[in-house]
Chain A
Amino acid sequence: MKTKQKKMNARVDFTPMVDMMMLLVTFFMLCTTLAKPQTMEIAMPTNKTEDKNRSQVDTKEAVTILLDENDRVFYYKGKPADAAQNIREAFYLSKDAKGDLKSIHEVLKKANPAYEKAEKIRKEYEGRLNAAVGAAKGQQDAIKAEFDEKFNEAKAEKGTPQVLIKPCDGSTYDNLIEVLDEMSLCNIGKYVIVPIDDGDKATLDNYKATIK
């Protein structure tokens, strides 16, 4: 036999394979999203006439937040009649602090007597849920249900404020979302978005003129 035994090269060149993989990875990176969009669930009051009375609030415990243009925010506690004396300016937590103003977060936290209690419940259940990671789904759901019940009970306690959110036409969607966010951060159970009325507008304009 005169065939020459060739030494076979056992190495396979993987470079084209890597090229292809890289292409696929790039494709999937560009075409997929990793995170599902977050959502904020809101329930608005109906505008049917028979329900109009329900939106009347116990004005003693009311906190009204007026969202103004240029990312300014004002608030007052109590009745709209006393608004002229009680109105103050605040600032959004996401924006820069202005002078010695309080943030709207601070204002709401202070106005809510149930804040500490609700926060404690939230933290406790957060811990329990973290501990239950990997446990049966039924068990997790049970913890969640128990949490919802206790949390809502704490938030609805007597003396908790009813927050009225009144955005001006010049405020932005971002402002609205931020204030709605504060509702959950400050554990406020009762809040509603209502259109701003002429009285509030006048109060706001007067106050803005005085602090200028």
Chain B
Amino acid sequence: MGRFKIKKADLFIDMTPMSDVMLLLLTFFLMAGTFTKPEPVQVQAPGSVSDIKIPSTDILTIYVAGQGKDATAKPDIYVTLDNAPIVNQLADGLKKLPLCNTIKKAEIDEFRESQSIKVTIGEMVADRGAQDDATTDSQFKQIIKQARTIYNDINKKAKENNPDATERNLRIAIKSDKGTPYSTIKLVMNSLQDIQENRYNLLTELKARPTE
């Protein structure tokens, strides 16, 4: 007993390998990740085996959320455009649209800032059936129509300057909660159909193909 030789422990731990590892991790996340765009609402999209990736620019996303499984609850519907200059143009044009002059100035400023604007579903119900009459279109339809017009103008101008210019195509994507009742999705789809937007994307999370 008492014959252990007490070694003078070196308290200095070499952190260099740790630092190396950290640098590696940092590089990985920098390279592999893309910055998350702020979303107006949290949406839990359903899974799908489809593995098409959505391009990262010129997407108009329609968020449908906040309803749960309750068909009578009012859903929150947001329209988000990921291109700041076009959002500005769109915001400028909003006041001139027939039904959108009820949108408050603060909301338009908010739209410029966050690039998303909330639309209500009530209007979408009311205007079903009146397809070609622009004055009865809901805010939702008018905003999408306007965005499409802006893109068409940009493409036209680009074509005049340079006939070989690549077209910038506005894509419409729907991102909705798993539990959203079909009646709500139907309203959104019907509204899109009314304004001749028949091709769009449904955003989903990746799910593995079931094995046979």
Contact = CB atoms under 8 A, between A and B. Distances in A.
B179 A42 contact: no
A143 B189 CA distance: 34
A38 B182 contact: no
A40 B26 CA distance: 32
A34 interface: yes
Contacts of B51: 38
A169 interface: yes
B36 A31 contact: yes
B23 to A, nearest CB: 6
Contacts of B189: 44, 193
B183 A33 contact: no
Interface size on B, as a range, is 35 or more
B66 interface: no
A14 B15 CA distance: 5
A90 to B, nearest CB: 15
A25 B26 contact: yes
Interface residues of A, number: 50
A172 B50 contact: no
A21 B23 contact: yes
Contacts of B33: 28, 31-34
Contacts of B50: 38-41, 181, 184
Contact of B49 (A18, A47, A181): A181
Interface in A1-24: 11, 13-15, 17-18, 21-22, 24
A35 interface: yes
Interface in B59-86: 64, 69, 71
Most buried by A among B15, B178, B189: B15
A41 B48 CA distance: 12
B203 A38 contact: yes
Contacts of B131: 47
A28 B202 contact: no
Contacts, number: 169
B178 A32 contact: no
Interface in A170-212: 170-178, 180-181, 184-185, 193, 195
The binding surface of chain A is classed by DSSP as: mixed
Given A169-B71, A170-B181, A37 B204 contact: yes
Nearest to A193: B189
Nearest to A46: B198
A28 B30 contact: yes
A21 B186 contact: no
Contacts of A15: 15
Given A21-B23, A32-B34, A172-B180, A38 B204 contact: yes
Residue with the highest number of chain A CB atoms closer than 10 Å, among B14, B22, B56: B22
Candidate in A41, A42, A105, A173 with the most chain B CB atoms within 10 angstroms: A173
B162 to A, nearest CB: 25
Contacts of A178: 46
Contacts of B4: none
Interface of A: 11, 13-15, 17-18, 21-22, 24-25, 28-29, 31-47, 67, 93, 105, 167-178, 180-181, 184-185, 193, 195
Closest 3 CB pairs of A and B: A32-B33, A14-B15, A21-B22
26 contacts: A13-B12, A14-B18, A15-B15, A18-B18, A18-B22, A28-B29, A29-B29, A37-B205, A39-B50, A39-B54, A39-B173, A39-B201, A39-B204, A40-B52, A42-B200, A45-B198, A46-B198, A47-B194, A93-B210, A169-B181, A169-B182, A173-B180, A175-B182, A177-B46, A180-B48, A184-B49
